[in-house]
Amino acid sequence: MIELQGVTKRYHGKKALDSVDLTLEPGKIVGLVGENGSGKSTTLKLIAGLNHPTRGRVTVNGHKATRRIADRVAYLSELDDYYPFFTVGGMIDFHASQFPDFDTKKADEMLSFMNLERSSKVKTLSKGNRGRLKIVLTLSRNVPVLLMDEPLSGLDPMVRDSIVKSLISFIDIENQIVLITTHEIKEIEGILDDVIAIKDGHIIGHHNVEDLRFEHGKGIVEWMTEVYQ
């Protein structure tokens, strides 16, 4: 379980998050949506323990979110921060050496699905293929929390649908919680259980996606248009 209790985060005096309360249970894929600068990436970094709240508390399964919770959280950054001299296979082996929970067999299955060759140098990969590699490295960890910051960024629109479907195949949805930030809402809407809208550091809506469809007759985009007015 992920809990944010009264969390405020300031950067140089400006609030990125403001008194946020949020509880997320395992067994769900949750979309965190909002405009650029709304606080989405900050939320993920706080849960991953990469940043610390200015005020409030962030816990993952009852443990304070610090860098020490890396054994419980896999984090896909929106940045390309991999060593360019590695091959794809070298990146797989490096992650396996760093994380005891890393599933090399699953990683190799995903490489095949993503059409990535172990022998390819990371520096020669296109932006889209680096994005695929980031997804492989993240989903190959058997941890309770998966955080994915703009996982579809840079991917060819023609392959996004198949890659989104792969997320379902390689997630242990009964035992994991997946929190995804994305601007590609329509592509990912079909796999989301919940959606959270954030604006100016405040959560302005949190709904079950099925409830939106069947009780309110709205998709996520229509709902966002309404709550962001």
Match 């060593």 to its residue by tokens: 83
What is the reported pTM? 0.91
Average confidence score pLDDT of the chain: 90
CA distance 193 to 208: 6
Contact (CB, 8 A) for 66 and 198: no
Which residues have C-beta within 8 Å of that of residue 98, sequence separation ≥ 6?
Answer: none
Residue 188: which pLDDT band, with cuts at 50, 70 and 90? confident
pLDDT (average), residues 193-221: 89
* pLDDT tens for each residue of 13-70: 889 999 999 999 889 999 999 888 889 999 999 999 999 999 999 999 889 999 888 8
| Domains of the chain, each with CATH number or no CATH | 2-227 (3.40.50.300)
* pLDDT tens for each residue of 81-119: 777 789 999 999 999 999 999 999 999 999 998 889 999
Which residues have C-beta within 8 Å of that of residue 33, sequence separation ≥ 6?
Answer: 40, 181, 182, 183, 185, 195, 196, 197, 198, 220, 224
